[in-house]
Amino acid sequence: MEKVFTEYGIDTVVHFAAESHVDRSILGPEAFIRTNVLGTYTLLDVARKAWGNRGDVLFHHVSTDEVFGSLGDSGYFTESTPYDPRSPYSASKASSDHLVKAYYHTYGLPITLSNCSNNYGPYQFPEKLIPLMILNMLEGKPLPVYGDGRNIRDWVYVEDHNEAVWSIMNKGRAGETYNIGGENEWENIVLLDRLIEITAEESGKDPGSFKALVTYVKDRPGHDRRYAIDCSKLKTELGWKQRFSFDEGLRKTVRWYLDNQIWCSHVRSGEYRNWIEKNYESRGV
């Protein structure tokens, strides 16, 4: 990282990188601590040493609403909601958030931070809910639903999320946190029903055959019941707003996975790892 900062004169870091799948964090938390906590520390400290007291630089840290824990039937997460992580994943992201804020207060490192709700859209890894369900439908595999399927998530389309991050980078106040949400809450089982309808329409298949694949499974340990984001600060201060309706975003997402089966098969088979090794490690990156 020191070499990259020096050779390329880095003046802005947008830290999206993370291990981000809750199920995998339950099975193997070490990778999440290593990547999300130690990895964030590495970037912060290299930036601090490279930038010194410069004010024309920025470290933007992308985080999650999961650091806030679980909501009841009402209320929303705001920027002042106390942290209450419930999984190794959310605990690791909470730790990284605190490190970022500490580097601002202790060293004066110019930072901004965002906590977003569930993302969806093209290129999302098949371990995530929406691409997993789309691909399982196409392959005739079970569509696993945790518990009673009534857990609620707020969904934001990936392009809306990226535009929010760009707004924060350009217009946000140093040291501030901004929540990014879709204002778009769905119970998991209701979302799956709509996803089945759209996938059937786009693929020309019978929705009944997809609905027959729905399978209820034992709930995940520590499964948060509801997330919902209050993103009024972002809207009021920076003028951001969502551009994509959920139905529009879902349809674009389904269409992308239908049109990019080769990419999906490479990712699911692990071939992408071999490609990375072949194309990057040989160049010393």
Q: Tell me: the pLDDT tens digits for 253-284?
A: 999 999 999 999 888 887 766 765 666 544 44
What is the structure's pLDDT at 259? 96
Predicted pLDDT of residue 276: 59
Closest CA to 173 of 58, 49, 5: 58
Tokens coding 251: 């349809």
Cβ–Cβ under 8 Å, residues 129 and 73:
no
Note the pLDDT of residue 284: 40
Active-site amino acid positions: 65-66, 89
Please give the C-alpha separations between residue 102 and each of 13, 48, 152, 244, in angstroms, as whole numbers: 17, 12, 32, 35
Going from N- to C-terminal start, the domains of the chain cover 2-270
Cα 265 to Cα 124: distance, rounded to the nearest angstrom: 13
Which of the 8 DSSP states describes residue 81? P
pLDDT in the model for residue 126:
87
pLDDT of 224: 86
Alpha helices in the chain (DSSP H): 2-8, 22-27, 30-32, 39-51, 88-107, 129-139, 158-171, 188-203, 207-211, 232-238, 246-259, 261-269, 271-279
Q: Which residues of 242-269 are buried (b: 16+ CB within 10 A; e: fewer)?
A: bebebeebbbbbbebbeeeeeebeebee
Ranges of the chain with pLDDT below 50: 281-285
Taking only the tens place, the pLDDT of each residue in 86-127 is 999 999 999 999 999 999 999 999 999 999 999 999 999 888
Residue pointed to by tokens 């439908």: 137
Torsion, CA 92, CA 94, CA 95, CA 101, rounded to 10: 150
Can you give the pLDDT at residue 136? 95
Domain 2-270 fold = Rossmann fold (3.40.50)
pLDDT at residue number 223:
86
- pLDDT attached to residue 285: 37
